[in-house]
Amino acid sequence: ATSRLLVNYQEPYRSQILDYLFKPNFGASLHILKVEIGGDGQSTDGTEPSHMHYENDENYFRGYEWWLMKEAKTRNPKIKLIGLPWTFPAWIGKGENWPYDYPDVTAYYVVSWILGAKRYHDLDIDYIGIWNERAFSSKYIKLLRYTLDKHDLQQVRIVASDRLWEPISFVLLLDSELHGVVDVIGAHYPGTKTVPNALLTKKKLWSSEDYSTFNDEVGAGCWARILNQNYVNGNMTSTIAWNLVASYYEELPFGRCGLMTAQEPWSGHYKVEAPIWITAHTTQFTQPGWSYLQVDGQLEGGGSFVALTDGLGNLTIIIETMTHNHSQCIRPLLPHFSVTPQKATFYLKGSFRLLHTWQSFKHSCSAFTMRCNVWKGSFSLYLNVDEVYTLTTLKTGQKCGCPEPPPPQPFPSNYKDDFNIRNPPFSEAPNFADQTGVFEYFINSSDPGDHVFTLRQVVVQRPITWASDADQTISLIGNFQWVNMTVTCDIYIEKQRDGGVFIAGRVDNGGIYVRRTKGVFFWVFADGTYRVTGDLAGEEILMKGLSGVRDNTWHTLTLNIQGTSASGLLNGYPLWENVTVSKPSNGWAAIGTRSFEFAQFDNFHVEA
C-alpha cells in the first residue's frame, strides 16, 4: 500500500514522477514492476482492495495497481509485471485464516486477477507469486499451474516462495512435479547470499524483495551494493526494491523507504532521491534477457563489479566501491568489511570497445554523469571509495530532469470532502489511507436526499491477514503533527443492534502497528449509546452515555480537541465535553467502524 498518495497528484507532476520511475533512458528506467494483488487486509502501510470482496463479486477497477501497471507499460512496453498476494478476502478461507484449505478456490481467485488484468486493461502478467513471506503449499502451487494452463496462461511464470531460500529449495529437489512448475526461486532480503540447495535446483534465483531502506545517501549505497553483489555473491539475476516510490504518509511504518519520495499530492512536491540514479547505472545499460558473464566480480581493494552482454556485441560493466558505513541496508545485519581506493585493471577480449563511462559519487550533486572514453584491450581505472561506475558500449543513457517541482507544504489545515463524484477515477477518496477495512466511493440509491454520494466501508468479514489487522476498521487522513483540531462527519450505521462508527483525532499509529493505535475516538452505536476512548481497541474509556443514535439514519458527529480537553457534538448539539486527553499529543484525523461492517460517511471536514 505504498503508492496510495501517488494517484492524486495533479498533472504535470504525476506524469513527471512516473517518467522518473518507468520511462526508458530517463531516470530509474525500471525493468520490473511487482504489484500487490489486493486482499482487503493490512500489507505494511495500509490495505489494498480485492478484486473480489465477496464470493459473488468481481470488480477490476478498484485500487490503483491497474492504473500503475498501465502507466508503467505506456512508458515501457517491455516492462515485466509481477503479481503477489499479501492477504486474501475472508471467503477464500471459508472462516479460517488460511488460504490453502481450498486450494482450487485460491487458484481460481488469483487466476481471475490475471485474466481481469488482460480483459479489462490489456495487461499481460508475466510472473505470479504464492503468498508474501508466509507458508507455501506444494499442492496449491501445482493446482495454480494447472489452472493457469487451463486458461491458456502458459506464459505466466511462477515465483516461489517470496520468503527464504528454504524450505522451498529443498522441497523442489525432493518433488520433481513441483520442480517442473516453479520457474523462479524468490527470496527476500538475502543479504547477497544464497544456499547450496537453491543452486542445485538450477532455477533462476531472484532477490524478489530487497532494499527497504531510508532513501538518503546510505540507502543509495545499500542499493548500489546489493544490485551488484546479489549476483556476485548469490547468483541472483533480479533484485526488486520494496518499495517503488514513498507515496504514503511518512509517519507510517518504513517512511521514505522508496526509490524516490512523492508523499505530498496536495502541494505537488516530490523528490528524486539518489537511489533513482543508482538504479539507472544498471537499468539504462542492460535489459531483461541480457546475460551476466561469469567473472569473479570481487575487487581486490573491496567492492564489486558485474559484466553483462546482450550476446549481440554489447557489453556493460557496473562497478561499485561502497564502504560498510555508507551501504548498510535495513536488514539483514551487514558484517564489517573494508574498501580502499584502488587501481583496477580489466582485460577485454575480442572486439569489445567500451565507449561511455557513467559515474556517481557519494555526497555529490553530480550523480550519474557521463564522459566519453574508448576502452579496449586492457585498461586501468582508479577507483575511489563510495563510487559507482558504468562502462558500456551503449550510447543510449541519459540523465533527464523535469523542472523543479513546487516546494513542500503541509497537508491543508482546512480540508473538506463531500464525496460527490459520479464517475470517480479511483475507487477510494483522495488522501484517505485505509489501515483496516476498505473505504470506497458509494452511490446510495436508497437516499434521494443529501447523501446520494458517500464513502462506504465495505469489508464485512475479517480477511485472511498478513499482519495484525485491527478488529475495527479505520482510515487515516491529514497531518501527523496536528495537535488541535475539529473533525466533523455525517455518519450512517448500517448494522443493526451492535453496529457502530467513530470519528477520531490525534491518531498516532497505522500500518502493521494499527492494533496499538491511540488517539481520541468518538464512537456512536446502533443501540443508542456513545463512548469516548483513548484507543482504537476501545479499551481506554474516557466517557460514555446515551446518544439516541440509531442505525439506518444519518447523524452528524463533531469532535473538538483543544490542548488537554475534548468535546463532542451530535447533530450540532453538545453531547459531551471537558474530557481530559493527555496522550497522544498529536496525530492524524480518522474515520472507521466498530467491526467489519457496512457503514457510510459523508461531508467530512477537518480544521486543524
pTM: 0.98
Q: pLDDT band for position 287 (50/70/90)?
A: very high
pLDDT tops 60 at residue 359: yes
Cell of 305: 563489479
Q: What are phi and psi of 514, to 5 degrees?
A: -60, -30
Q: pLDDT band for position 354 (50/70/90)?
A: confident
CB 142 within 8 A of CB 181: yes
What would the DSSP string read from start to end of 203-261? -EEEEEEEE---SSHHHHHHHHHHHHHHHHTT--S-EEEE-S-B-S-TTSTTTT-SSSE
CB 219 within 8 A of CB 210: no
**Cα 461 from Cα 308, distance rounded (Å):** 50
Residue 364: its pLDDT value, please? 52
**Cα 247 from Cα 410, distance rounded (Å):** 15
pLDDT tops 80 at residue 163: yes
Q: Which of 209, 264, 273, 597 is catalytic?
A: 209
pLDDT tops 90 at residue 365: no
pLDDT tens sequence across 547-598: 999 999 999 999 999 999 999 999 999 999 999 999 999 999 999 999 999 9
Q: Is 133 a catalytic residue?
A: yes
Q: Which of 133, 251, 494, 607 is catalytic?
A: 133
CB 245 within 8 A of CB 254: no
Q: What are phi and psi of 607, to 5 degrees?
A: -125, 120
293's CB contacts (< 8 A; 6+ apart) are 306, 307, 308, 309
Cα radius of gyration rounded to whole Å, the chain? 26
**Cα 32 from Cα 363, distance rounded (Å):** 28
Helix (H) / strand (E) containing 588 = strand 588-593
pLDDT tops 90 at residue 377: no
Rounded to the nearest integer, the mean pLDDT of the chain is: 96
Over residues 375-399, the mean pLDDT reads: 92
Over residues 244-251, the mean pLDDT reads: 98
Helices (H), ranges, 10-102 = 13-22, 65-75
Task: Kindly state the percentage of the chain with pLDDT values over 90.
Answer: 93
CB 165 within 8 A of CB 119: no
Over residues 390-399, the mean pLDDT reads: 92
Cell of 557: 458527529
Residue 608: its pLDDT value, please? 98
Residue 447: its pLDDT value, please? 77
Q: Which domains does the chain have, with CATH numbers?
A: 31-163 (3.20.20.70), 414-607 (2.60.120.560)
Helix (H) / strand (E) containing 317 = strand 315-320
Q: pLDDT band for position 366 (50/70/90)?
A: low
pLDDT tens sequence across 45-88: 999 999 999 999 999 999 999 999 999 999 999 999 999 999 99
Q: pLDDT band for position 374 (50/70/90)?
A: confident
pLDDT tops 70 at residue 363: no
What would the DSSP string read from start to end of 506-570? EE---GGGGGG-EEEEEEEETTSEEEEEEETTS-SEEEEEE----TTSEEEEEEEEETTEEEEEE
pLDDT tens sequence across 316-336: 999 999 999 999 999 999 999
Nearest CA to 480 out of 451, 444, 509 is that of 509
pLDDT tens sequence across 482-527: 999 999 999 999 999 999 999 999 999 999 999 999 999 999 999 9
